[in-house]
């Protein structure tokens, strides 16, 4: 454990020294420190226009903190892609085909076109096929909603997986 802490401490120290001495400019590339002014004798650095800039301990600590807080200044994370809508709906509606009554589930999606709902998948939650919890349902799509035939009387719900808008 002592060796691990020693290794970790040494690594952090090296990182701080490199971050403070090298720094990172706004474009993300390493920026060299200005050359030391040999005429000053105080360890300062020659700045623009020949003026001496203080490069004391406060600047080193500030540079190290800046590098630790924002090590890659121009890093830009991409937004996460939109997730599909997953909703389970009961088989509470019925259709009449002649003498046959068929249960189905409907999911209202106000404002969505039939084209934007065309990639929807409907999973029937059933125990009719032993060992299989779901099976894919026949799906009907219209502007503002989708519907799926439930199949057997044992089916209680349909889970719709609707692509993001």
Distance of CA 34 to the CA centre of its chain: 40
On whether both 95 and 41 belong to a single domain, the answer is: no
On whether both 32 and 99 belong to a single domain, the answer is: no
Confidence class for position 22, pLDDT limits 50, 70, 90:
low
Q: Residue 78 falls within a domain, yes or no?
A: no
Number of domains in the chain: 2
Q: Domain limits at 152?
A: 85-162
The pLDDT tens digits of the residues spanning 37-82 come to 444 444 444 444 444 455 566 677 777 777 777 766 676 778 888 9
Residue pair 47/34 in contact by the 8 Å Cβ criterion? yes
On whether both 121 and 64 belong to a single domain, the answer is: no
Beta strand residue intervals within 37-84, DSSP E:
45-46, 52-53
Query: In the prediction, which pLDDT does 28 show?
Result: 46
Query: In the prediction, which pLDDT does 27 show?
Result: 46
On whether both 52 and 94 belong to a single domain, the answer is: no
Exposed / middle / buried, residue 66 (Cβ in 10 Å: 0-12, 13-18, 19+): middle
Torsion of CA 101, 104, 110, 115, to 10 degrees: -100
On whether both 89 and 153 belong to a single domain, the answer is: yes
Query: In the prediction, which pLDDT does 30 show?
Result: 45
Query: In the prediction, which pLDDT does 41 show?
Result: 47
**pLDDT over 60 (residue 33):** no
Q: Residue 75 falls within a domain, yes or no?
A: no
Confidence class for position 84, pLDDT limits 50, 70, 90:
very high
Q: Residue 74 falls within a domain, yes or no?
A: no
Q: Residue 38 falls within a domain, yes or no?
A: yes
- Tell me which of 126 and 56 has the higher pLDDT: 126
Confidence class for position 146, pLDDT limits 50, 70, 90:
very high
Distance CA 134, CA 147 (A): 16
**pLDDT over 50 (residue 29):** no
The pLDDT tens digits of the residues spanning 87-123 come to 999 988 888 878 888 888 999 999 999 999 999 999 8
On whether both 112 and 137 belong to a single domain, the answer is: yes
Query: In the prediction, which pLDDT does 112 show?
Result: 96
Domain end point (choices 43, 69, 95): 69
Query: In the prediction, which pLDDT does 111 show?
Result: 95
């Amino acid at each position: 454990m002592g060796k691990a802490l020693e290794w970790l401490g040494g690594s952090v120290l090296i990182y701080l020294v490199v971050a403070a001495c090298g720094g990172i400019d706004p474009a993300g590339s390493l920026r060299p420190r200005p050359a030391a002014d040999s005429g000053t004798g105080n360890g300062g650095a020659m700045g623009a226009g020949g003026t001496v800039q203080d490069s004391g301990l406060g600047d080193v600590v500030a540079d190290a903190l800046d590098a630790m807080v924002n090590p890659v200044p121009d890093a830009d994370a991409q937004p996460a892609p939109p997730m599909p809508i997953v909703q389970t709906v009961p088989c509470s509606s019925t259709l009449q085909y002649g003498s046959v009554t068929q249960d189905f589930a409907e999911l209202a999606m106000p404002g969505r076109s039939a084209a934007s709902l065309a990639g929807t998948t409907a999973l029937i939650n059933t125990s009719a096929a032993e060992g299989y919890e779901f099976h894919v349902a026949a799906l009907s799509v219209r502007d503002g909603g989708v519907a799926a035939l439930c199949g057997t009387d044992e089916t209680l719900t349909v889970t719709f997986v609707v692509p993001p808008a």
